[in-house]
């Protein structure tokens, strides 16, 4: 279950010195490139796990829903094409 963020839907700049998609601190916020939802958590790792990079599509960070819509799934064996 994802708690909606006030930042959802606004394309936000990556914070200076941070990896692409990290748009907030305290708590950490990580944004999906497609739907622009922002996933927040006090722990950066937990926020980042909800909007993932895909090694086959470098530089793009998306949430699970958007990766699935783009034909990708992530499981125990890594990324795989599903459509």
Nearest to Zn ion of 23, 63 (CB atom): 63
**Smallest distance from the beta carbon of 36 to Zn ion, in angstroms?**
7
Q: Is 23 in the site for Zn ion (CB under 5 A)?
A: no
Contact 15, 24 (CB under 8 A): yes
CB atoms < 10 A from the CB of 29, how many?
22
Distance from C-alpha of 42 to C-alpha of 77, rounded to nearest angstrom: 28
Specify the stretch interacting with Zn ion by CB under 5 A; choose among 4-12, 28-36, 53-61, 72-80: 28-36
Q: Is 47 in the site for Zn ion (CB under 5 A)?
A: no
> Dmax of the chain from CA atoms?
37
Residues in contact with Zn ion by CB under 5 A are 32, 34-35, 63, 66
């Amino acid at each position: 279950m994802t708690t909606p963020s006030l930042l959802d839907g606004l394309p936000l700049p990556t914070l200076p010195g941070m990896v692409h998609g990290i748009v907030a601190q305290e708590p950490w916020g990580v944004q999906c490139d497609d739907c622009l939802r922002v996933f927040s958590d006090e722990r950066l790792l937990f926020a980042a796990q909800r909007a993932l990079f895909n090694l086959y599509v470098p530089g793009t960070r998306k949430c699970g829903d958007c990766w699935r819509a783009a034909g990708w799934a992530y499981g125990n064996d890594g990324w795989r094409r599903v459509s």
